[in-house]
């Protein structure tokens, strides 16, 4: 775990470069940054990036750096052009896994050099704390930080030319998307009830609630075009065209009943592939939808009746299995969890 300590921050002139220290720390694999001077604006900027782009990077400003550094339980590095060359020391440093890296702003007090276990230079030429930190982290992680994934609300898709960003819409954006596709009252009331049920189940199970929320609200967007069995496939296509995060697209595509097997898909004339929900978020939304008829919540017995009346025996067995699986994860039957909604 790597903690970055930034000292000498002057809020009136260093905002931009200290923000860059924090963003480089986050993007190149450090877990947190601590900054000596209190700076709420800087803290909020970095927290916003974390909230949008993901991960659990931590920032705190306004700490007493010297006692923080002295009390740090781990290996303390001061990055300075006066130090020993990084290439000579990095293997030794890498054998420690709890590291504090100090970078300065203007003049770094001599105490930092004395408290540090290592004073390390990235060349012995004067340059920048941002560059020094980036090189240090890259050498420490041996480049593996470049493969790190974040799965935030905003995900940049690598492109040879142009820009492609996929995102997880919040509740308000989901309703706007539905309305822009022409969803009427019936669809809106239905998805809002499914959302209520899905979020209740999500309270009991470890999952990504942002995905559950967006998946529940958008699962029937395809019904703005068709009420046939292919509405899930049509909905997924609509969302793909709007650059919605792939995890939500899959929730929508796999929400029918307890999913559709490849063989059933072929029989039903759908593009031939497996539509069985796999992730926990896919399962929660698919089954929340099962437990809602129009805008009314129903229980497992009523749901089984509905399927048996339509002679959909195989699908009903799969749905019951999903119901029991989710109930088991919640430690309580879903009918009890949803009955007061």
Tell me if residue 104 falls in helix, strand or coil: coil
Q: Closest-CB residue for ligand SAM?
A: 104
**Hey, what are 105's tokens?**
């702003």
Residue 59 vs 103, nearer CB to ligand SAM: 103
Stretch that binds ligand SAM, among 77-85, 152-160, 226-234, 249-257 (CB under 6 A): 77-85
Among 44, 98, 123, 142, binds ligand SAM (CB under 6 A): 123
Residue 77 vs 322, nearer CB to ligand SAM: 77
CA distances 172 to 8, 151, 181, 251, Å, are: 41, 21, 15, 19
**Hey, what are 122's tokens?**
């990235």
Binding-residue pattern over the window 100 to 119 for ligand SAM, x denoting contact by CB under 6 A? ---xxx-xx-----------
Residue 107 vs 163, nearer CB to ligand SAM: 107
**Hey, what are 180's tokens?**
């822009």
How far apart (Å, rounded) are the C-alpha atoms in residues 43 and 116?
Answer: 26
Are the C-beta atoms of 140 and 93 separated by less than 8 Å?
yes
How far apart (Å, rounded) are the C-alpha atoms in residues 67 and 69?
Answer: 5
Residue 50 vs 122, nearer CB to ligand SAM: 122
Q: How many residues bind ligand SAM (CB under 6 A)?
A: 17
Using rule CB under 6 A, residue 128 touches ligand SAM: yes
Residue 5 vs 319, nearer CB to ligand SAM: 5
How far apart (Å, rounded) are the C-alpha atoms in residues 251 and 247?
Answer: 6
Using rule CB under 6 A, residue 9 touches ligand SAM: no
Are the C-beta atoms of 35 and 9 separated by less than 8 Å?
yes
Among 14, 129, 220, 253, binds ligand SAM (CB under 6 A): 129
Among 15, 19, 74, 81, binds ligand SAM (CB under 6 A): 81
CA distances 297 to 202, 216, 290, Å, are: 16, 14, 9
Q: What is the DSSP track for 292-308?
A: EETTEE--HHHHHHHHH
Residue 102 vs 284, nearer CB to ligand SAM: 102
Smallest separation, CB 231 to ligand SAM (Å) = 57
Binding site for ligand SAM (CB under 6 A): 79-81, 103-105, 107-108, 121-123, 125-129, 132
């Amino acid at each position: 775990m790597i903690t970055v300590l930034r000292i000498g921050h002057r809020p009136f002139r260093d905002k931009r470069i200290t923000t860059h220290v924090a963003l480089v720390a986050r993007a190149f694999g450090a877990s947190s940054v601590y900054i000596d001077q209190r700076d709420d604006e800087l803290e909020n900027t970095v927290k916003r990036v974390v909230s949008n782009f993901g991960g659990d990077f931590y920032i705190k400003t306004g700490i007493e750096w010297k006692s923080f550094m002295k009390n740090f339980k781990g290996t303390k590095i001061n990055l300075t052009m006066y130090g020993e060359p990084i290439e000579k020391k990095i293997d030794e440093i890498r054998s420690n896994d709890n590291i504090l890296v100090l970078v300065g702003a203007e003049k770094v007090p001599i105490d930092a050099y004395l408290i540090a276990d290592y004073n390390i230079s990235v060349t012995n030429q004067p340059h920048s704390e941002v560059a020094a930190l980036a090189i240090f982290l890259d050498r420490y992680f041996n480049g593996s930080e470049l493969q790190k994934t974040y799965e935030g609300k905003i995900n940049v898709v690598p492109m040879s030319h142009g820009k492609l960003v996929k995102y997880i819409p919040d509740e308000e954006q989901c309703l706007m998307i539905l309305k822009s596709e022409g969803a009427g009252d019936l669809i809106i009331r239905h998805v809002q009830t499914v959302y209520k049920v899905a979020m209740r189940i999500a309270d009991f199970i470890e999952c990504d609630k942002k995905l559950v929320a967006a998946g529940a609200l958008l699962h029937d967007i395809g019904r703005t075009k068709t009420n046939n069995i292919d509405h899930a496939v049509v909905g997924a296509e609509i969302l793909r065209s709007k650059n919605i995060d792939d995890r939500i697209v899959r929730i929508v595509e796999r929400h029918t009943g307890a999913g559709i097997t490849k063989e059933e898909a072929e029989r039903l004339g759908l593009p031939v592939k497996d539509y069985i929900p796999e992730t926990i978020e896919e399962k929660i939304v698919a089954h929340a939808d099962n437990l809602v008829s129009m805008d009314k919540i129903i229980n497992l017995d009523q749901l089984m009746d509905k399927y048996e009346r339509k002679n959909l025996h195989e699908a009903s067995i799969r749905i019951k299995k999903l119901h029991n699986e989710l109930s088991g994860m919640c430690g309580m039957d879903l009918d009890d969890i949803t009955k007061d909604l």
